[in-house]
Structure 1
Amino acid sequence: MKILLLVQKEQRVILDRLYDGIAAHADCDLRWLGRAEQANLRRYFRHAVDVCAYDRIVFFLRFKQEIRQVPFIRTVPNLVILEHDACQNYFPGKYQGKFSRHYAQLPWVRIISSGHVVAERLRAEGFDALFVPKGYDQATLRNLGLERDVELAFVGSTKSSVYTGRRRLLEEIAARENLLITRTESGDEYLRMLNRIRFFVSADAGIGEYMIKNFEAMACGCVLFAYDQGEAENEALGFRDMVNVVLYRDVEQLRVKLAQLRADPALAERIACAGQALVEREYRFDVLGRRVVEAMQAPLRPHPPLGWLDRLRLRLGVRLYADFTEIADARG
């Protein structure tokens, strides 16, 4: 299968190993699109893409830019959308309901979502949605066997509006326990920080799926305390409470389980080892790259013939479309 994989050049999370994993299982033409190219896909395709050369064209782009360009995107054949943020469709915020409205305009497109329950909900709405979870970069994150001199910690962002629930929950935990909340640079500093932590607190309240940090912490040998995203999500991922993760729904439940593990270090070590083994087996980016390719392989839904309006849009001058996107950007 020959695929064109279009990804964001300026992306906060480094996903290079995931792209390598995809390329290892398909004939993959990987392109990194900057902000200007993402903002005018029509122009980019006109000058740089022969759509007939690919069995699948995969968008892993900014949703904010995709929703502004539906008239053009409707003309792209064999389209698959890889999406790690569709969970925002189902909780309050600026994108609530917008993923569903966007996909309703592209009903033939396959969506690969990083949330199991999110994919189920999208399928219930009539979309062709499959589940491939988030994971971790196996080339940069691993258990170094260091002394774990930080008992309880969270490493990551709390500033985004998406993470309002995370920030509140972490603050509530920190008011009751000696919780370190910190940030690091990517790379070696982050690796070494995770390897110093015994109990990593994930607090993704209200998100509905497990973020990348859960898998990263487990890969580095932390005992993961994860805000419970529900039975269906846990079953899909193989997360088992007090076996390979520690699940909690509120601060008191976290504190009870934390006290149990403080009193039983051997149990804590078994949970850490089981969690590490799980993610090393299932959630490395090289493994997930294969799963992404497998999710693309089944025939896509038929793409209806282009109507006269879509054909006209394809003939429109690039300058006219660029003017439109500039106006949209100015309006926010």
Structure 2
Amino acid sequence: MKVLFLVQKEQRVILDRLYQAVAEHCECDLRWLDSADQRDLRGYFRREVNASQYDRILFFLRFKQEVRQVAFIRSVPNLVILEHDAYQNYIDCKYTGKFSRHYRNIPWARVISSGFQVTERLRQEGVDAVFVAKGYDQTLLRDLGAERDIELAFVGSTNSVAYSGRKVLLDELGARENLLVTRTKSGEDYLNTLNRIRFFVGADVGMGEYMIKNFEAMACGCVLLAWDQGEVENQALGFVDMHNLVLYRSVEQLQEKLAVLRADPQLARRIALNGQQLVQSQYSFARIGEQIVEAMRPALRPAALRGGLGEWWLRLRRALAG
């Protein structure tokens, strides 16, 4: 299977190992698109791409650029979209409902989504959606065996509207506990900081799926205290409360479980080790990349007829959907 894999050139999270893993399991033409190319996909394809050469064309691009170019994207054959942010479709933010509308315009495209429940909701809406979880860079993130001199911490952003629930929770927790909230540079700085943290607070409040930093913290040997995304999501990922992570649904519950862990350091160490073993066996980028390729292999839906009644009906559907 020959794949054209288009990714973002400027991206805060380093995902090179994920891209490499995808390339190792197919004949892959990997290309990094800068902001200008993403804003003008029609021009980029006209200059740089012979679409007939590829069995699949895989997008991992900025959603806000995709939705502005539906007319062109509808012409891209054998299209698959890898999406880590589709949870924003179902929360209160600027993209609420926009993923659903976008995918209705390209119903023959396959969407590989990183949330199990999000994937199921998209499938119920008629999207050809497949679940492949987030993961972590196994070549960078690991347990260094360092002294964990930061007891309780969160590393990451709280600025986005999509993270408003995260900020509220961290502010409330910080008023009750000695909590460090910080940001780091990607790479070694991030690795070293995670290895100093004993209890990592995963604060994905209301998101419906677990963000990448949860897997990264587990890989580095932290005890993950994660906002509970629900039984269905946990079962899909193999997350078991007080076995390989600690789940909570309120600051009070987090504090209660934290008190148990402080009183029983051996239990805390077992949870950290079990979590680390889980992500090492299931959620390395090496494994996730292979799963992405396998998700692309089955036949795609036939594309709708261009023009004529089919095109008119699709335009009407888009107008009615707003």
Match of 2:319 in 1: none
Separation in 1, partners of 2:304, 2:212? 36
Which residue identity is paired with 1:37? D
Does residue 199 (structure 1) correspond to residue 174 (structure 2)? The answer is no
Counting matched residue pairs gives 311
- Aligned partners of 1:21 and 1:286 also within 8 Å: yes
Query: Unmatched 5+ residue regions in structure 1?
Result: 312-332
Match of 2:30 in 1: 30
Separation in 2, partners of 1:49, 1:309? 29
Separation in 2, partners of 1:28, 1:87? 28
Which residue identity is paired with 2:165? G
- Aligned partners of 2:18 and 2:286 also within 8 Å: yes
Which residue identity is paired with 2:68? R
Deviation at 1:308, TM superposition (A): 6.4
Deviation at 1:222, TM superposition (A): 0.2
- Aligned partners of 2:10 and 2:34 also within 8 Å: yes
Q: What pairs up with 1:1-332 in 2 under 5 angstroms?
A: 1-307=1-307
Match of 1:315 in 2: none
Deviation by residue 1:37-95 (Cα, 9 ceiling, x = unmatched): 01111111011101110000011001101001111110111000000000000011110
Separation in 1, partners of 2:275, 2:287? 16
SS in structure 1 at match of 2:154: strand
SS in structure 1 at match of 2:140: coil
Match of 2:314 in 1: none
Deviation by residue 1:256-280 (Cα, 9 ceiling, x = unmatched): 1000000000000000000000000
Which residue identity is paired with 2:204? D
Deviation at 1:12, TM superposition (A): 1.1
- Aligned partners of 2:91 and 2:162 also within 8 Å: no
Q: Tell which deviates more after alignment, 299-308 or 132-141.
A: 299-308
Separation in 2, partners of 1:49, 1:193? 42
Which residue identity is paired with 2:191? L
Separation in 1, partners of 2:279, 2:303? 37
SS in structure 2 at match of 1:210: coil
Separation in 2, partners of 1:185, 1:54? 36
Separation in 1, partners of 2:304, 2:253? 52
- Aligned partners of 1:75 and 1:310 also within 8 Å: no
Deviation at 1:304, TM superposition (A): 2.3
Q: CA RMSD in A?
A: 1.3
Separation in 1, partners of 2:186, 2:129? 31
- How high is the sequence identity, in percent, across the aligned residues? 68
Which residue identity is paired with 1:190? Y
- Cα–Cα, structure 1 residues 96 and 16, in superposed 2: closer, same or farther, change >3 Å? same
Deviation by residue 1:101-141 (Cα, 9 ceiling, x = unmatched): 00000011100001000000000001100001111111110
Separation in 2, partners of 1:232, 1:21? 28
Deviation by residue 1:283-304 (Cα, 9 ceiling, x = unmatched): 0001000000000011000012
Separation in 2, partners of 1:186, 1:163? 19
Query: Unmatched 5+ residue regions in structure 2?
Result: 312-322
Separation in 1, partners of 2:310, 2:15? 34
Which residue identity is paired with 1:246? V
- Aligned partners of 2:2 and 2:56 also within 8 Å: yes
Which residue identity is paired with 2:126? G
Q: Tell which deviates more after alignment, 272-281 or 298-307.
A: 298-307
Separation in 2, partners of 1:147, 1:254? 23
Which residue identity is paired with 1:226? A
SS in structure 1 at match of 2:4: strand
Deviation at 1:226, TM superposition (A): 0.2
Separation in 1, partners of 2:194, 2:79? 38
Separation in 2, partners of 1:20, 1:246? 32
Which residue identity is paired with 2:35? R
Match of 2:315 in 1: none
Separation in 2, partners of 1:92, 1:305? 35
